[in-house]
Amino acid sequence: MDNVIQATHPPTHAIDHAEEHEHVFLPQHLHHFATEEQQREAGTFGMWLFLLTEIMFFGGMFFSYLVYRNWYYDAFAVASNQLSVPLGGTNTAVLITSGFFMALAVWASEMRKKGFLVICLLLTMLFGTVFIGIKGVEYHEKWEKHHIPGAHFDTAEFVNPHAYGINEEPLSPAAATKTQLFFSLYFLMTGIHAIHMMIGLGILVWLVFRAHRGDFTAGYVAPIENFALYWHFVDIVWLFLFPLLYLINRHPGR
Protein backbone atom coordinates (compact mmCIF):
# COMPACT_ATOMS: atom_id res chain seq x y z
CA MET A 1 0.00 0.00 0.00
CA ASP A 2 1.21 3.46 -0.88
CA ASN A 3 0.03 5.00 2.43
CA VAL A 4 1.78 2.53 4.78
CA ILE A 5 3.67 4.42 7.49
CA GLN A 6 7.13 3.01 7.98
CA ALA A 7 9.17 3.44 11.19
CA THR A 8 12.16 5.66 10.71
CA HIS A 9 15.55 5.04 12.31
CA PRO A 10 18.56 7.35 12.55
CA PRO A 11 21.36 6.51 10.16
CA THR A 12 23.89 4.01 11.43
CA HIS A 13 26.72 6.52 11.12
CA ALA A 14 24.83 8.96 13.41
CA ILE A 15 24.58 6.29 16.14
CA ASP A 16 28.26 5.51 15.85
CA HIS A 17 29.09 9.22 16.06
CA ALA A 18 26.99 9.64 19.23
CA GLU A 19 28.60 6.63 20.87
CA GLU A 20 32.05 8.04 20.15
CA HIS A 21 31.15 11.23 22.04
CA GLU A 22 29.36 9.52 24.94
CA HIS A 23 31.04 10.37 28.24
CA VAL A 24 30.64 8.41 31.44
CA PHE A 25 30.48 10.89 34.34
CA LEU A 26 31.62 10.22 37.88
CA PRO A 27 28.83 9.75 40.45
CA GLN A 28 29.82 13.07 42.06
CA HIS A 29 29.27 15.01 38.82
CA LEU A 30 26.55 17.66 39.12
CA HIS A 31 24.19 17.94 36.17
CA HIS A 32 24.60 21.69 35.65
CA PHE A 33 28.31 21.33 34.83
CA ALA A 34 29.38 20.18 31.38
CA THR A 35 32.41 18.26 32.66
CA GLU A 36 34.06 17.25 35.91
CA GLU A 37 36.90 19.65 35.14
CA GLN A 38 34.46 22.55 34.86
CA GLN A 39 32.91 21.52 38.17
CA ARG A 40 36.34 21.37 39.80
CA GLU A 41 37.37 24.79 38.46
CA ALA A 42 34.11 26.35 39.62
CA GLY A 43 34.56 24.92 43.11
CA THR A 44 38.14 26.16 43.32
CA PHE A 45 37.14 29.61 42.09
CA GLY A 46 34.37 29.75 44.68
CA MET A 47 36.80 28.79 47.45
CA TRP A 48 39.23 31.53 46.42
CA LEU A 49 36.39 34.07 46.46
CA PHE A 50 35.46 32.92 49.96
CA LEU A 51 39.08 33.19 51.10
CA LEU A 52 39.23 36.71 49.66
CA THR A 53 36.38 37.74 51.96
CA GLU A 54 38.21 36.08 54.85
CA ILE A 55 41.38 38.01 54.03
CA MET A 56 39.43 41.27 54.18
CA PHE A 57 37.76 40.16 57.42
CA PHE A 58 40.96 39.27 59.25
CA GLY A 59 42.83 42.12 57.56
CA GLY A 60 40.43 44.59 59.15
CA MET A 61 41.14 43.16 62.59
CA PHE A 62 44.90 43.20 61.99
CA PHE A 63 44.71 46.82 60.89
CA SER A 64 42.69 47.80 63.97
CA TYR A 65 45.17 46.06 66.23
CA LEU A 66 48.15 47.80 64.64
CA VAL A 67 46.46 51.20 64.91
CA TYR A 68 45.66 50.77 68.60
CA ARG A 69 49.09 49.32 69.31
CA ASN A 70 50.64 52.44 67.82
CA TRP A 71 48.36 54.71 69.86
CA TYR A 72 48.78 52.85 73.16
CA TYR A 73 52.22 51.39 72.65
CA ASP A 74 53.34 51.04 76.27
CA ALA A 75 50.06 49.58 77.53
CA PHE A 76 49.96 47.03 74.72
CA ALA A 77 53.59 46.08 75.35
CA VAL A 78 52.88 45.53 79.05
CA ALA A 79 49.79 43.46 78.27
CA SER A 80 51.54 41.32 75.66
CA ASN A 81 54.03 40.23 78.34
CA GLN A 82 51.16 38.36 80.00
CA LEU A 83 50.91 36.00 77.01
CA SER A 84 52.81 32.72 77.09
CA VAL A 85 55.40 32.63 74.31
CA PRO A 86 56.15 28.90 74.91
CA LEU A 87 52.48 27.98 74.51
CA GLY A 88 52.09 30.23 71.49
CA GLY A 89 55.27 28.85 69.93
CA THR A 90 54.16 25.28 70.57
CA ASN A 91 50.83 25.99 68.93
CA THR A 92 52.65 27.44 65.92
CA ALA A 93 54.67 24.24 65.50
CA VAL A 94 51.54 22.12 65.97
CA LEU A 95 49.62 24.04 63.32
CA ILE A 96 52.48 23.91 60.81
CA THR A 97 52.66 20.14 61.34
CA SER A 98 48.92 19.90 60.79
CA GLY A 99 49.28 21.82 57.52
CA PHE A 100 52.07 19.46 56.44
CA PHE A 101 49.81 16.43 56.84
CA MET A 102 47.02 18.24 54.99
CA ALA A 103 49.39 18.76 52.06
CA LEU A 104 50.22 15.05 52.17
CA ALA A 105 46.49 14.30 52.14
CA VAL A 106 46.10 16.21 48.88
CA TRP A 107 48.97 14.22 47.38
CA ALA A 108 47.49 10.93 48.62
CA SER A 109 44.11 11.74 47.08
CA GLU A 110 45.71 12.55 43.73
CA MET A 111 47.74 9.33 43.86
CA ARG A 112 44.58 7.40 44.85
CA LYS A 113 46.15 6.05 48.03
CA LYS A 114 43.03 5.55 50.12
CA GLY A 115 44.66 4.26 53.30
CA PHE A 116 47.36 6.90 53.39
CA LEU A 117 44.76 9.60 52.68
CA VAL A 118 42.69 8.56 55.69
CA ILE A 119 45.80 8.51 57.91
CA CYS A 120 46.86 12.00 56.78
CA LEU A 121 43.38 13.42 57.37
CA LEU A 122 43.27 11.86 60.84
CA LEU A 123 46.70 13.30 61.69
CA THR A 124 45.59 16.70 60.42
CA MET A 125 42.58 16.45 62.70
CA LEU A 126 44.72 15.28 65.62
CA PHE A 127 47.12 18.21 65.44
CA GLY A 128 44.25 20.63 64.91
CA THR A 129 42.61 19.29 68.07
CA VAL A 130 45.89 19.67 69.98
CA PHE A 131 46.01 23.30 68.85
CA ILE A 132 42.52 23.93 70.23
CA GLY A 133 43.47 22.16 73.46
CA ILE A 134 46.53 24.35 73.99
CA LYS A 135 44.51 27.45 73.21
CA GLY A 136 42.00 26.29 75.82
CA VAL A 137 44.83 26.07 78.36
CA GLU A 138 45.81 29.65 77.54
CA TYR A 139 42.24 30.87 77.91
CA HIS A 140 41.88 29.06 81.24
CA GLU A 141 45.06 30.73 82.48
CA LYS A 142 43.67 34.13 81.53
CA TRP A 143 40.43 33.27 83.33
CA GLU A 144 42.29 32.27 86.50
CA LYS A 145 44.33 35.47 86.47
CA HIS A 146 41.25 37.63 85.76
CA HIS A 147 42.65 38.87 82.47
CA ILE A 148 39.22 38.72 80.84
CA PRO A 149 38.13 42.29 79.99
CA GLY A 150 35.32 43.44 82.22
CA ALA A 151 34.47 44.51 85.77
CA HIS A 152 36.80 41.96 87.37
CA PHE A 153 39.82 42.62 85.15
CA ASP A 154 42.97 42.44 87.31
CA THR A 155 46.23 44.24 86.50
CA ALA A 156 48.05 43.32 89.72
CA GLU A 157 50.70 41.36 87.81
CA PHE A 158 51.23 44.06 85.21
CA VAL A 159 54.33 46.25 85.44
CA ASN A 160 53.93 50.01 85.22
CA PRO A 161 55.59 51.01 81.93
CA HIS A 162 57.19 54.07 83.52
CA ALA A 163 58.92 51.89 86.11
CA TYR A 164 59.65 48.93 83.86
CA GLY A 165 62.65 46.98 85.09
CA ILE A 166 63.04 49.18 88.20
CA ASN A 167 60.11 48.41 90.45
CA GLU A 168 56.63 47.08 90.06
CA GLU A 169 54.04 49.79 90.57
CA PRO A 170 50.34 49.30 89.90
CA LEU A 171 49.03 50.59 86.61
CA SER A 172 47.01 53.76 86.52
CA PRO A 173 43.28 53.39 85.74
CA ALA A 174 43.87 54.87 82.28
CA ALA A 175 46.66 52.39 81.52
CA ALA A 176 44.57 49.51 82.87
CA THR A 177 41.77 50.43 80.48
CA LYS A 178 44.19 50.38 77.57
CA THR A 179 45.48 46.93 78.55
CA GLN A 180 41.88 45.73 78.56
CA LEU A 181 41.66 46.88 74.96
CA PHE A 182 44.66 44.68 74.15
CA PHE A 183 43.00 41.63 75.67
CA SER A 184 39.71 42.45 73.96
CA LEU A 185 41.48 42.34 70.60
CA TYR A 186 43.45 39.26 71.68
CA PHE A 187 40.33 37.27 72.52
CA LEU A 188 38.50 38.58 69.46
CA MET A 189 41.20 37.61 66.96
CA THR A 190 42.32 34.34 68.53
CA GLY A 191 38.72 33.38 69.31
CA ILE A 192 37.53 33.86 65.74
CA HIS A 193 40.60 31.97 64.53
CA ALA A 194 39.75 29.12 66.93
CA ILE A 195 36.18 29.05 65.60
CA HIS A 196 37.57 28.66 62.08
CA MET A 197 39.72 25.81 63.39
CA MET A 198 36.74 24.04 64.95
CA ILE A 199 34.73 24.42 61.75
CA GLY A 200 37.67 22.89 59.91
CA LEU A 201 37.78 19.98 62.36
CA GLY A 202 34.10 19.33 61.73
CA ILE A 203 34.69 19.28 57.97
CA LEU A 204 37.64 16.92 58.51
CA VAL A 205 35.32 14.41 60.19
CA TRP A 206 33.15 14.46 57.06
CA LEU A 207 36.19 14.13 54.78
CA VAL A 208 37.55 11.17 56.77
CA PHE A 209 34.19 9.41 56.45
CA ARG A 210 34.09 9.97 52.71
CA ALA A 211 37.74 9.05 52.25
CA HIS A 212 37.20 5.78 54.12
CA ARG A 213 34.24 5.12 51.83
CA GLY A 214 36.52 5.59 48.83
CA ASP A 215 34.99 8.75 47.39
CA PHE A 216 38.34 10.43 46.73
CA THR A 217 40.23 7.62 45.05
CA ALA A 218 38.47 7.57 41.69
CA GLY A 219 39.57 10.86 40.16
CA TYR A 220 37.37 13.07 42.33
CA VAL A 221 39.58 15.07 44.71
CA ALA A 222 38.09 18.59 44.56
CA PRO A 223 36.74 18.56 48.16
CA ILE A 224 40.18 17.62 49.48
CA GLU A 225 41.91 20.30 47.42
CA ASN A 226 39.44 23.02 48.36
CA PHE A 227 39.51 22.16 52.04
CA ALA A 228 43.32 22.22 51.94
CA LEU A 229 43.12 25.83 50.72
CA TYR A 230 40.92 26.68 53.71
CA TRP A 231 43.14 24.85 56.19
CA HIS A 232 46.33 26.46 54.92
CA PHE A 233 44.64 29.86 55.09
CA VAL A 234 43.84 29.25 58.76
CA ASP A 235 47.49 28.29 59.27
CA ILE A 236 48.66 31.52 57.64
CA VAL A 237 46.33 33.63 59.79
CA TRP A 238 47.93 32.16 62.90
CA LEU A 239 51.41 32.83 61.49
CA PHE A 240 50.41 36.51 61.50
CA LEU A 241 48.67 36.40 64.89
CA PHE A 242 51.55 34.79 66.76
CA PRO A 243 54.21 37.45 66.12
CA LEU A 244 51.73 40.33 66.32
CA LEU A 245 50.37 39.33 69.71
CA TYR A 246 53.20 37.40 71.34
CA LEU A 247 56.53 38.59 69.96
CA ILE A 248 56.68 42.09 68.50
CA ASN A 249 57.71 44.94 70.83
CA ARG A 250 57.07 43.29 74.18
CA HIS A 251 58.94 46.00 76.10
CA PRO A 252 57.62 49.53 76.72
CA GLY A 253 59.51 52.54 75.48
CA ARG A 254 60.51 52.97 71.85
Domains and CATH numbers, the chain: 56-247 (1.20.120.80)
For residue 250, pLDDT over 80 is answered with: no
Q: Read off the pLDDT band of 19 (50, 70, 90).
A: very low
For residue 155, pLDDT over 60 is answered with: yes
Average pLDDT over residues 92-101: 97
For residue 240, pLDDT over 60 is answered with: yes
Q: Are 162 and 174 in contact (CB under 8 A)?
A: no
Distance CA 144, CA 130 (A): 21
**Which residue has better confidence, 157 or 238?**
238
8 exposure class (CB count in 10 Å sphere: 0-12, 13-18, 19+): exposed
Residue 139 vs residues 148, 187, 191: alpha-carbon distances, Å = 9, 9, 10
| Contacts with 54 (C-beta within 8 Å, 6 or more apart), sequence order | 233
Average pLDDT over residues 166-180: 70
| DSSP 8-state symbol, 51 | H
pLDDT confidence of residue 186: 95
For residue 167, pLDDT over 80 is answered with: no
pLDDT confidence of residue 203: 96
